Amino acid sequence: MLNYFAVSQDNAFHDIVRFKVPSKNPLQVRLEVLKGDMKGVEGNLMIDVNSNPDNFYPDILDEPLFLVADRVEKVFRYYFDEDDFRGALLMDLKNKESHFYWLPLMEKVECLHESTAFGKDGFVKDMVLSKGKVGRHKIFRVGGIMEKVVVVHLEIAESLLRRNCLGVQLKPIRSI
């Protein structure tokens, strides 16, 4: 049975909002903020986005930072401590528009099963999770890989589907 799913933004949607990133290639910048990284940091993050009147704001953004909209935050919050979220205000200054998101501060779990297959480039070809290593974690980042993968348990995936989240992709991951 498939108990775990990689959750990410669905790139099939057009005009997904993009952050203004100080890089020649913004797709190369993927930030990872984990539980404990923001201790002592108060207040909300303020993030400038590229101005576009057609910007689409999905319920999950994962480039360059994993952020969730209120609909997803309400599901995730059930599994996190109160201080495991930071607010993030996305601002389109040109169009005088802003949207509020949440930054969930997750744990990174070293949970790959030995049968996980890697390509020559070092990226995962076929991910397999070890149920014993996952333990009681329901939402987490996968450790030991170059990719930034967020995993949710089946009950959370079902909850997201019941809420008709927009722009969210769930891919099943095998576990042994």
What would the pLDDT profile of 104-120 be if each residue is shown by its tens digit?
Answer: 999 999 999 999 999 99
Mean pLDDT score of the chain, rounded to an integer? 89
Q: What percent of the chain has pLDDT over 90?
A: 72
Distance of CA 27 to the CA centre of its chain: 15
Cis omega (within 30 of 0) for bond into 64: yes
Count: domains in the chain: 1
Q: What percent of the chain has pLDDT over 70?
A: 88
> In the predicted model, what is the mean pLDDT of residues 32-56?
79
Indicate whether 44 pLDDT > 90. no
Indicate whether 102 pLDDT > 90. yes
Predicted confidence at residue 83, as pLDDT, reads 79
Instruction: From 158, 49, 156, 57, select the one nearest 106 (Cα to Cα).
Output: 156
Quote the tokens at residue 156.
Answer: 């959370």
* Domain of residue 153, residue span: 4-175
Over the stretch 147-171, which tens digit does the pLDDT of each residue have?
A: 999 999 999 999 999 999 999 999 9
Q: Are 151 and 139 in contact (CB under 8 A)?
A: yes
Name the least confident of 4-8, 28-32, 79-83, 132-136.
Answer: 28-32
> DSSP letters along 29-82, please?
-----BTTTTTT--S-EEEEB---TT-B--SEE-SSS-EE-HHHHHHHHTTS-G
Q: How far apart are CA 82 and CA 114, in angstroms?
A: 34
Predicted confidence at residue 4, as pLDDT, reads 97
What is the widest separation between alpha-carbon atoms in the chain? 50
Q: Are 89 and 98 in contact (CB under 8 A)?
A: yes
